[in-house]
A and B are shown apart, each in its own frame.
Chain A
Amino acid sequence: AQKVTQAQTEISVVEKEDVTLDCVYETRDTTYYLFWYKQPPSGELVFLIRRNSFDEQNEISGRYSWNFQKSTSSFNFTITASQVVDSAVYFCALTHQAGTALIFGKGTTLSVSS
């Protein structure tokens, strides 16, 4: 069975602080895919990144970076110099094949205050 755990329910930071959102996954598949989505207060789900199980290279995109470690089954997300606009619910998700369900974690609510 597949499972995604986001142990941090809520995180509050002050602007310009760095923050890391944790994601731990479980799967028996040898090939799988991990995602991060952002859900701002307006409600839409915004795709942030996709990582394949066979590619452990970390990625940086502006203030966002992702650390994928198969040894610990983790796919953590770091926001550097957080901004108020980063306030949202962030979901980590897992799937193993095209056309099939995304398995979401419970989400982490990030609140960034000025």
Chain B
Amino acid sequence: AAGVIQSPRHLIKEKRETATLKCYPIPRHDTVYWYQQGPGQDPQFLISFYEKMQSDKGSIPDRFSAQQFSDYHSELNMSSLELGDSALYFCASSWLDRGQITDTQYFGPGTRLTVL
């Protein structure tokens, strides 16, 4: 079965540089989520989109922005990178069944960002 695709899988940047992470959801999924996981920590929710509209917002820094495109893929843009941004960034996607209130989030393999 097709899974969530994230690119790149690894990224090394210098402080103050910018980075763009991409996420391609499972086919037919209409909602994407972004999470940040620091070393030894649990994933922290950043932001989510449903049908190209922001659905929920978490602890996403102002230096970060994200959007979902018409083909449902999403991009997370990160500017003025700091050492503390080094983490594993997960994208998840979901599809809401008719009659259900919630959905199951399926995660991609993650992008490991290292800021030097």
Contact = CB atoms under 8 A, between A and B. Distances in A.
Contact of B109 (A33, A43, A96, A105): A43
Interface string B44-78: 11001010000110100000000000000000000
B96 interface: yes
Given A44-B110, A99-B55, A101-B48, A91 B104 contact: no
A102 interface: yes
B101 interface: yes
Contact of B104 (A35, A44, A105): A35
Contacts of B107: 37, 44-47
Q: Which size class do A's interface residues fall under?
A: 20 to 34
Nearest to A101: B45
Contacts of B101: 31, 33, 97-98
Interface in A37-88: 37, 43-47, 50, 52
The secondary structure that dominates the A interface is loop
Nearest to B59: A101
A101 B105 CA distance: 10
Interface of A: 31, 33, 35, 37, 43-47, 50, 52, 91, 95-107
9 nearest A-B residue pairs (beta carbon): A101-B45, A99-B55, A45-B107, A104-B42, A100-B56, A98-B103, A98-B102, A99-B50, A33-B102
25 contacts: A31-B101, A33-B102, A35-B104, A37-B107, A44-B108, A45-B92, A50-B102, A52-B102, A91-B43, A95-B102, A96-B102, A97-B101, A97-B102, A99-B50, A99-B103, A100-B55, A100-B56, A101-B33, A101-B45, A102-B43, A102-B45, A102-B92, A104-B44, A106-B41, A106-B42
